[in-house]
Structure 1
Amino acid sequence: MAGKRLLTVCGWTGCKFYQKAKGVATALSALYPADYEARLDESPDRDTYRGKLDALRQKTPTDAKAQSHTSSPLVFLTEGGATSYLGGCDDTVAWARARLSPSTTENGSNGICNQNDGFTKDHGFDYDVVVIGGGSGGLACSKEMAKLGAKVAVLDYVKPSPQGTKWGLGGTCVNVGCIPKKLMHTAAILGEAMRDDAAAFGWASPDVKHNWAAMRERVQNHIKSLNFQYRVALREAGISYLNKLGEFAGPNTLKVTDKKGKVTQITSARFVVAVGGRPNRLDIPGGEHAIDSDDIFSLEKAPGRVLCIGAGYIALECGGFVNGLGSSTTAMVRSILLRGFDRECVDKIQTHLVAHGVKLQIGVTPTKIEKNGDVLTVHGSDGSVNEYDTVLVATGRKADTTGLGLDNVPGAAKDVAQNGKLKAVDEQLPHAPHVYAIGDVLDGRPELTPVAIEAGLRLARRLFGAGNERMDYENVATTVFTPLEYGAIGLSEDEATESLGAENVECYISEFTPLEHALSDARSARGDAAFAKLVCDKTQDLKVIGFHYLGPNAGEITQGFSVAMRKGATYGDFLGTVGIHPTVAEEFTTLTVTKASGASAAKGGC
């Protein structure tokens, strides 16, 4: 062990914080085998781990912090023959970043990330960098690198969906994701407001009828305008836009194929893989009759009776807005809704969906689809047989790396996970250091557009500018645009309890009626309500480690509070902030009921 640093990571396998610290330690040992070694003390469950804690703490018996450490993971550092307490997950990540941060003298036109990628100014290739994928992350990264003086090309080629749907430059978010989803969600919310709220505010009850074709045309026209703007932006930035499919033919060579099948080659010193993912297909007899999220936004007519297969945010968002736009909607769910989100909040979303007319088949999977004319007959694992006009499958997405030719880049195959995603350290492939990756194609990272954009910007500045800031994937805010919108930051209550122990977690909650809904008899009859929740760490002065909100304008509200979360705000900071009255966001500055108290979270009055 002379000259090596040993990282001993202790924890239990189901703890995501242990898995993260384990990932840091194993990545260091893979990147720098002569300098670092990872040793894992892994327990199968939390109780087994806690039973070993007293013995584990004896590695540093005189360290008071180590003796009071109760969470997973527990990490020790051994160097120079001496073992010291390093801390938990956050401490380990911070230590690794400090050890690996390049000095400003390492950056510039041939800057590096963790490993020298061989870049020199006189490399002799066609481009300094080729970005493979013209989605949000790839476009942001390419434009930033061009601004910093790099010669850049962007490859973007849309492979049609199984149903034949195609689209333009801009990736999933712009064409078949966030943008059309939010617009159609807004259409459904407007319809609900007209049906349920308008009369209560003095408007004569309108005869509400939705025109799917008119909405679709306006949505698609907006998307096409964005496609055009992106092409103009690339041209103005001096970036070569190649509407071609790329495949590695060697470490620095891409074979590119245009839509007519013509094949040429280009070379580059560096590559950024930003190909994102595509929806999983339904592998059952008749599965080819189902559509997915690549198709739903361009349907020529209203989808009619809809079956949404899946329980993630894509399934529930799409199922929510088609139901709100007048389609009879059923959601077929294998186990639970929105796995990984706060269960208390998810239960309220489920209740809201049912109250708004979405039928749920929970614990059921499809076994066969039969097509008879325009009617689809779906057989379920519970023996059910039902007819639909549209079957939408949303059972997850897979990385679009098949056919990328990474086997032709020495070492790169070692960095491909079993799920097809890429295992990178600070966006750099450890075994092919001139290849980088950002966005949904990265293993273990949030599949969110702003994450891809920010990671791309920071990578560009490290490679071609004076930047040394790495992407911070913690406390990333997100919103699920179900009919009852859900904004979340940080840990769920269950995650906090698993990590810290129930005795160290305090939850402040409130259930209330937004003022804009107070006059609606329809909402009152359904029991529609908003919900606010702060998950706090008792061991850190009630630091807020989880933020959860259900109600109108969740995205706008959650975004603002994410700044406070990033700065380490405590419950006291929230309570000491003067709210804006009368708003739903104000509720987070007045929370006083704890979940542990058993008191009612229902709020009355102003």
Structure 2
Amino acid sequence: MAPIKKECDYLVLGGGSGGLASARRASGMYGAKAIAVEVKRLGGTCVNVGCVPKKITWNAAAIADQIKDASSYGFSVKHTAEFDWKTFSNKRAQFVKKLNGIYEKNLEKDKVEYLHGLATFLDPHTVKVTLDDNTEVDIKAKKILVAVGGHPNLPNTPGAELGITSDGFFELEKQPKKVAVVGAGYIAVEMAGMLHALGTETHLFIRHDKFLRTFDPMIQEKVVAEYERVGVHIHKNSSQSKVEDIGNGNKRLHYKDSNGEGTMDIDCLLWAIGRSPELEKLNLEITGVKQNDKGHIITDKYQNTNVPHIYSLGDACDRGFELTPVAIAAGRRLSERLFGGIEDAHLTYENIPSVVFSHPTVGSIGLTEPEAQKQYGAENLKVYKSTFNDLYYSMMEQEEKSPTSYKLICAGKEEKVVGIHILGRGSDEVMQGFGVAVKMGATKKDFDRCVAIHPTAGEELVTMT
């Protein structure tokens, strides 16, 4: 059967938040004929196997923590709180499915044609889409956006396939009794924290002596200490040599850490060692689009590739911020530039706030202290630090308290705030407002002039001396 032929102004490859935001703006606001293609589920990593189901799981873990804390506030919990993993995961999956439907309706509303299938470049302007029924559609497009996202990596360790990745975490039918999480980035730290809070015996294997190594040293030090305090087993300076299937769904992990060589029998092994762009099946080579040594598409600040009509954003490109709101913002600005006549529209990849849903949560924006020293010189910095107990812990014994730590990094005579790093209860919510302040160029005096909201943890950021 001959392929169906289509033409469009804008072809978006990838149905994640960034690509769909760009397609909807191009079509719904500027009238471009747009087609979006996705081979998996609409919404991309964030909706299906990332931010959304992760935060829902984090909420469950936070409730488990509060149940443990309840007796300190005078509550008598008469029965052990039992967590029904299957009921929870089924309900979480239903919510994600609902979001998939909302995304599809939004495409219809903005008149974006949606094709569910696998995309492959035939030439720089033409893409073949193989639909679910094997029908082929050849699309000739004036402009093409590659926003196909990424996928989790597996190591070369023998038996690695016996483990799961963060994608597989959301498909677990029962809660692990004993898990080994391998990785030191935010995904590993988040998943280890959630599983531990929900009652799984959790072992976190990291290559060095700290995790979250791209974050400020204070964050690294304090979160590692907190995980150790609450009972997460951290295996430092570790490596894995082999994984064996020992039957009944159990695995044996062979490893080495700072204590020497060992083995561990577990019922779940979770690899969280990084992600790669989802470009393997795209036949991108035929377009001449350049990639860096890690496989990401090379782009400039306007999301341009080296091929004039092909663009890229999100996890597929080399901008370095694998965050959903970043992809959405970049996608909208790209369409404003391409179809809305706003010539200089682009996302500024500076002072982007981020959060780690660890236990406790972490918020960060701007430069770390080492980065600020390199950029401004240590003699031109003033760093304000504070560690304190959130009022929430006032009813608890000292050993039950999770400390809150804040850091402000200020540069120059005017003490412009160039970095904020916080950890503690509510840091995810606190960071959003202070992110606006840093983006606007606030100084320490601006913070000082803001009247504190008392009693809150966030007030510490406007009262530090």
Amino acid aligned to 1:247: T
SS of equivalent residue, structure 1 residue 383: strand
Higher relative contact order structure (alpha carbons within 8 Å, sequence separation ≥ 6): 2
8 A contact 1:508–1:533 mirrored in 2:
yes
Report the alpha carbon displacement of residue 173 of structure 1 after superposing the two structures with TM: 0.3
Name segments (4+ residues, structure 1) moved above 6 Å: none
Report the alpha carbon displacement of residue 125 of structure 1 after superposing the two structures with TM: 6.7
SS of equivalent residue, structure 2 residue 261: coil
Deviations 1:283-312 (A, max 9, x none): 111111010001101211002200000000
Report the alpha carbon displacement of residue 519 of structure 1 after superposing the two structures with TM: 1.1
8 A contact 2:299–2:306 mirrored in 1:
no
8 A contact 1:220–1:298 mirrored in 2:
no
8 A contact 2:302–2:345 mirrored in 1:
no
8 A contact 1:307–1:390 mirrored in 2:
yes
SS of equivalent residue, structure 2 residue 89: helix
Q: How far apart, in 2, do the equivalents of 1:326 and 1:430 lie?
A: 47
8 A contact 1:399–1:420 mirrored in 2:
yes
Deviations 1:65-92 (A, max 9, x none): xxxxxxxxxxxxxxxxxxxxxxxxxxxx
Correspondence for 1:70: none
Q: How far apart, in 2, do the equivalents of 1:498 and 1:290 lie?
A: 40
Report the alpha carbon displacement of residue 527 of structure 1 after superposing the two structures with TM: 4.3
Q: How far apart, in 2, do the equivalents of 1:259 and 1:501 lie?
A: 57
Q: How far apart, in 1, do the equivalents of 2:385 and 2:233 lie?
A: 28
Q: How far apart, in 1, do the equivalents of 2:225 and 2:293 lie?
A: 36
8 A contact 2:301–2:348 mirrored in 1:
no
Correspondence for 1:504: 380
Correspondence for 2:281: 403
Correspondence for 2:272: 394
- Which range is displaced more, 496-505 or 565-574? 496-505
Of 7, 19, 28, 1:138 maps to 19
**Change in CA separation of 1:245 and 1:174 when aligned onto 2, cut-off 3 Å:** same
Could you tell me the TM-score, scaled by structure 1's length? 0.73
Q: Does 1:190 align with 2:66?
A: no
Report the alpha carbon displacement of residue 525 of structure 1 after superposing the two structures with TM: 1.0
Correspondence for 1:110: none
SS of equivalent residue, structure 2 residue 308: coil
Q: How far apart, in 2, do the equivalents of 1:466 and 1:258 lie?
A: 34
Of 294, 310, 334, 1:419 maps to 294
Deviations 1:465-488 (A, max 9, x none): 132321111000000001110000
8 A contact 2:243–2:251 mirrored in 1:
yes
Q: How far apart, in 1, do the equivalents of 2:301 and 2:261 lie?
A: 48
Correspondence for 1:485: 361
8 A contact 1:308–1:392 mirrored in 2:
yes
Correspondence for 1:165: none
Deviations 1:147-173 (A, max 9, x none): 210111110012xxxxxxxxx211000
**Change in CA separation of 1:258 and 1:476 when aligned onto 2, cut-off 3 Å:** same
Report the alpha carbon displacement of residue 264 of structure 1 after superposing the two structures with TM: 2.9
Correspondence for 1:330: 203
Report the alpha carbon displacement of residue 540 of structure 1 after superposing the two structures with TM: 4.5
Correspondence for 2:326: 451
Correspondence for 2:214: 340
Correspondence for 1:171: 44
Q: How far apart, in 2, do the equivalents of 1:532 and 1:379 lie?
A: 38
8 A contact 2:202–2:232 mirrored in 1:
yes
Q: How many residues align?
A: 453
Let me know the Cα RMSD of the aligned residues.
1.4
Q: How far apart, in 2, do the equivalents of 1:401 and 1:236 lie?
A: 29
Of 72, 76, 99, 1:204 maps to 76
Amino acid aligned to 2:185: G
SS of equivalent residue, structure 1 residue 243: strand
8 A contact 2:297–2:305 mirrored in 1:
no
Q: How far apart, in 1, do the equivalents of 2:345 and 2:302 lie?
A: 12
Deviations 1:217-261 (A, max 9, x none): 111111010001111111121111100111110111001112343
Of 547, 563, 566, 2:436 maps to 563
Q: How far apart, in 2, do the equivalents of 1:143 and 1:305 lie?
A: 44
Amino acid aligned to 2:251: L
Q: How far apart, in 2, do the equivalents of 1:443 and 1:473 lie?
A: 12
8 A contact 2:180–2:203 mirrored in 1:
yes
Q: How far apart, in 2, do the equivalents of 1:568 and 1:533 lie?
A: 17
Correspondence for 1:111: none
8 A contact 1:254–1:265 mirrored in 2:
yes
Q: How far apart, in 2, do the equivalents of 1:289 and 1:170 lie?
A: 28
Unaligned ranges ≥5, structure 2: none
Q: How far apart, in 2, do the equivalents of 1:238 and 1:430 lie?
A: 27
Q: How far apart, in 2, do the equivalents of 1:368 and 1:496 lie?
A: 41
Correspondence for 2:390: 514
Deviations 1:120-158 (A, max 9, x none): xxxx97110010000110111111111210111110012
Correspondence for 2:88: 215
**Change in CA separation of 1:430 and 1:216 when aligned onto 2, cut-off 3 Å:** closer
8 A contact 1:282–1:290 mirrored in 2:
no
Q: How far apart, in 1, do the equivalents of 2:137 and 2:319 lie?
A: 34
Report the alpha carbon displacement of residue 282 of structure 1 after superposing the two structures with TM: 2.4
Q: Does 1:460 align with 2:335?
A: yes
Report the alpha carbon displacement of residue 517 of structure 1 after superposing the two structures with TM: 2.1
Q: How far apart, in 1, do the equivalents of 2:56 and 2:225 lie?
A: 24
Of 263, 283, 290, 1:385 maps to 263
Could you tell me the TM-score, scaled by structure 2's length? 0.95
Report the alpha carbon displacement of residue 263 of structure 1 after superposing the two structures with TM: 2.9
Report the alpha carbon displacement of residue 205 of structure 1 after superposing the two structures with TM: 2.3
8 A contact 2:315–2:321 mirrored in 1:
yes
8 A contact 1:308–1:391 mirrored in 2:
yes
Greater CA radius of gyration, 1 or 2? 1
Correspondence for 2:410: 536
Report the alpha carbon displacement of residue 355 of structure 1 after superposing the two structures with TM: 1.1
Q: Does 1:250 align with 2:123?
A: yes
8 A contact 1:355–1:526 mirrored in 2:
no
Correspondence for 1:47: none
Q: How far apart, in 1, do the equivalents of 2:126 and 2:88 lie?
A: 44
More strand by share: 2
Q: How far apart, in 1, do the equivalents of 2:393 and 2:11 lie?
A: 51
SS of equivalent residue, structure 2 residue 437: helix
Q: How far apart, in 2, do the equivalents of 1:532 and 1:423 lie?
A: 36
SS of equivalent residue, structure 1 residue 294: helix
Q: How does 1:348-387 map to 2 (within 5 A)?
A: 348-373=222-247, 374-381=249-256, 382-387=260-265
Q: How far apart, in 1, do the equivalents of 2:111 and 2:136 lie?
A: 24
SS of equivalent residue, structure 1 residue 426: coil
Q: How far apart, in 2, do the equivalents of 1:221 and 1:517 lie?
A: 35
Unaligned ranges ≥5, structure 1: 1-123, 159-167, 593-606
Amino acid aligned to 1:507: V
